Amino acid sequence: MTKNALCFAMALGSVVAHASVVTPVEFTIQSTILTNGSNISACGIRFVGATSTPDGKFVDLVDGSFMFTDQVYYAVKAGHFRKKVGDPAETPKRGDIAWIKIGKSSNVVPHSPSMQAETKGYKLFVAKIDEGALAIDGIYAKERLWVAFADSKGLTSVYSGKLNIDDMTMVQFSECMSDVTQRVQKALEASPTPEAKR
């Protein structure tokens, strides 16, 4: 084996060793909202999926949400759990939410360090506006959802499945988004422009 071939083989071996296996999962989708008094302050979807490990001894559960808020940012919250078959207890797996992707959007990644959510075992992060907006388009198109979790060693677990959104859920999501975006637009129009502040 030549030196170049050996280097290539070693590099390829390193890549394969750290490659992430994509696990197929059937996601159940729900429309979600947050309210502030009588106003809707955030809209989004909740995704829940479960899949058995190859040995059939455990079930991995992915539970998360993706939301747009009236403060004009996108938030991702998710937890990654493992349950032993026959045992009702669930334990958080090692690894925090790293990114999600919906359809043709870029990976929706943390814009700032993720934080512990109010629910045990879940992490939360705020995403960039442009990444979040493309992901919203993917929801409307009912495209594939990808969810990735990374552990402290840099190993990533990726789960992927189609967004099976029924008509009622889509109506709820669309009406909620319309309400929030209209209020955001009105607030922006009412805000003084930089020139007006001078």
* pLDDT, tens only, 89-144: 778 776 899 999 999 888 999 988 889 998 888 999 999 888 888 899 999 999 99
Contact 74, 68 (CB under 8 A): yes
Backbone torsions φ then ψ of 142, nearest 5 degrees: 55, 45
Give the closest residue to 181 by CA, choosing from 28, 69, 29, 39.
Answer: 69
Cβ-based burial of 170 (10 A; exposed 0-12, middle 13-18, buried ≥19): middle
pTM score, two decimals? 0.80
pLDDT of 3 reads 52
Mean pLDDT, consecutive 10-residue segments, the chain of 198 residues? Answer: 46 47 92 90 94 90 94 92 84 85 91 88 90 91 94 87 94 94 84 56
pLDDT of 2 reads 57
pLDDT of 173 reads 95
Per-residue exposure over 96-127, b if at least 16 CB sit within 10 Å of its own CB, e if not: bbbbbbbbebeebbbeeebeebeeebbbbbbb
User: Tokens representing 168?
Assistant: 């009622």
Contact 159, 26 (CB under 8 A): no
What is the three-class DSSP state of 128?
coil
pLDDT of 119 reads 87
Q: Which helix (H) or strand (E) holds 136?
A: helix 129-140
DSSP of 148-179, one letter per residue?
EEE-TTS-EEEEEEEEE--HHHHHHHHHHHHH
Contact 68, 126 (CB under 8 A): no
